[in-house]
Structure 1
Amino acid sequence: MTSGRPEAGETLYDEVGEAVGEFHGERSAYLLRPLGGGKAWLADPADVRRPTRDELIRARLTLANRESRMPR
C-alpha cells in the first residue's frame, strides 16, 4: 500500500489471500477481518491495496448471500 497506513475499518484487498477485508490494526503486519465478521488474518502491507470496484461488489455480494442463509 503506497499511500500510508489505512484508517480503522477501511476496506482493503489482500493480493496473496485474494480476499477483501476491513483493516483492524497493525502488528507485525496488517490485521484484516472479513466483511461482516469472521476470523481475522495478517497480511503483509506490501501485498495489500484498495479493492477494485468489482472486488468490492463481489465481497459484498458474498456477505449478502451468507446473511440471507442465516435463520431469522
Structure 2
Amino acid sequence: MVALFLIGTVQTASASGIVSTANNIAVTRLYDQNGNLIKNHSLAANTNWVVGKTITIDGNTIYQVSTNEYVNASDVIFR
C-alpha cells in the first residue's frame, strides 16, 4: 500500500486528550509522522490512547499515540 497522505503542507500542534478505537473494527491502522502506513502492527479494538500531538498533512489530521506512531482522526473518537 502506498502512503495514506501526500507529502505537502504539514502542520504540528500540541494536543492533550484521549482517543478511543471503535469496538466494531478489529484493528485501527497506524501511520508514521509522514503519513506512511505502519504495516507490522496496529491498535486493538475498543482501547484508549493518550494523544501527544496532532499533525495535519494536506488537510488530514493524525494523532500521536506513540513516539512515531499516529492514528488517522477519522478512525478514532477524540475525547
TM-score by length of 1: 0.39
Q: Which has the larger radius of gyration?
A: 1
> Which structure is higher in helix share?
1
**Structure of greater relative contact order (alpha carbons < 8 Å, 6+ residues apart):** 2
